[in-house]
Amino acid sequence: MELITLEITDLGLALGLMAIAIALAQGQQLGLTGQLITATLRTIAQLVGVGYLLDFIFALNHPLAVGIIILAMVTIAALAAKKQINQKLGNILPILWGGILTSTLAVLCYVNLLIIQPPDWYSPQYVIPIAGMILGNAMNGASLAGERLVTSVKQQRLELETHLSLGATPAQALSTYRRQAIRTALIPTLNQMAIVGIVTLPGMMTGQILSGVAPLDAVSYQILIMFMVATANLLTSLLVTYGISQKIFNAEAQLII
């Protein structure tokens, strides 16, 4: 199957979809007109920009350039996750950054070196897209787990202090809430895995099929993606909740939030 390339006129027609959405929002007085326009312009600018950047990185084909891109992506993901966590724990950015980076590199190395095995281990054609998919889910896992843990501690402060007064260590007192936070972070991934291929066709699989890849080949990659996303999400949640747990108590095992 031959790839049908979208021309600039085709993208103009695609923009018509957003024009319809904006007109509907305006007609129904939803108050979303400005947000839809901003989102449309940002989508165009960001995707065109990343397209040119990836063209440059692919042509350069150098491990240093790939490493810089991944570190930049990790930093942006950590900053985005931090904004979602309502807390007064000081600077948790290093915890989020370290958790996301560790899980991303662990899963990326496993997938790239043991499964895909491209000609060059740093091949940007494989490393950057795979890292991007892992990072997006790791960021969601970090923010969901972190926010749930902090919220639970604030809501159950009296129960936590009771456990501590009865001799429990901070880790023991937090264990139930930490497990709940990790489960919360995994719910979106587990829900997606439960319906993938039945209710939805994931974006990468759809894109591959549209580009002419045989459906079974696209399915193989999608299975790999679902497994690596689940593992990265769980690993990130474990690392982030552990790191945040260390910030919830002071040296005297007293709650500080």
- At 55 the pLDDT is 92
Same-domain check for residues 55 and 68: no
Same-domain check for residues 112 and 182: yes
Same-domain check for residues 107 and 148: yes
Residue 134 lies in a domain: yes
Return the residue matching tokens 């989508």. Answer: 43
Same-domain check for residues 154 and 34: no
SS3 string, 141-199, reads HHHHHHHHHHHHHHHCHHHHHHHHHCCCCHHHHHHHHHHHHHHHHHHHHHHHHHHECCC
- At 123 the pLDDT is 92
Same-domain check for residues 157 and 211: yes
Which positions of the chain have pLDDT values less than 50? none
Give me the number of domains the chain comprises.
Answer: 2
Alpha-carbon distance of 152 to 157, in angstroms, equals: 8
List b or e across 17-44, with b for residues whose CB sees 16 or more CB atoms inside 10 angstroms.
Answer: ebeeebeebeeeeeeebeebeeebeeee
Same-domain check for residues 43 and 13: yes
- At 87 the pLDDT is 65
List b or e across 184-204, with b for residues whose CB sees 16 or more CB atoms inside 10 angstroms.
Answer: bbbeebeebeeebeeeebbeb
Domain that holds residue 2: 1-60
Same-domain check for residues 123 and 45: no
Residues listed for the chain:
257
Same-domain check for residues 109 and 18: no
